[in-house]
């Protein structure tokens, strides 16, 4: 399961008596043990969508107005910065 995936369709296919157990096993447990690798697909998407420094700054400003990021090393940001570095190293 992808971290940013919409699981509603999958959850509807799980028998109703097993939904809670499925959600705990497939969603909750995974979110307690996330790694930077779990955000790789999302980071690649962000890197492609926001390829210029101005658009990256604007996205981060909009994000900071919409949500509170409680840790400066948030995994999704770290994953995105890793993608940006890969992209920049390709042009070095």
**16: which 2 tokens?**
């109703």
d(CA 16, CA 31): 22
Where along the chain do its domains lie?
A: 1-33, 36-91
Cβ distance 82 to 41 under 8 Å?
Answer: no
Determine the straight-line distance between the first and last CA of the chain, rounded to whole angstroms. Answer: 35
pLDDT tens profile 26-84: 776 666 677 888 888 888 888 889 888 888 889 888 888 887 777 667 787 888 888 88
**How confident is residue 4, by pLDDT bands cut at 50, 70 and 90?**
low
d(CA 11, CA 64): 31
Q: Is the pTM of this model over 0.75?
A: no
Instruction: Please compute Rg for the chain using Cα positions.
Output: 16
């Amino acid at each position: 399961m992808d971290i940013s995936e919409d699981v509603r369709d999958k959850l509807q296919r799980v028998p109703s008596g097993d939904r809670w157990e499925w959600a705990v096993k497939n969603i909750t447990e995974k979110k307690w043990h996330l790694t930077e690798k779990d955000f790789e697909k999302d980071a690649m998407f962000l890197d492609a969508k926001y390829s210029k420094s101005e658009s990256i700054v604007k996205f981060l400003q909009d994000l900071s107005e919409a949500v509170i990021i409680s840790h400066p090393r948030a995994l999704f940001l770290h994953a995105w910065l890793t993608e940006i570095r890969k992209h920049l190293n390709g042009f070095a």
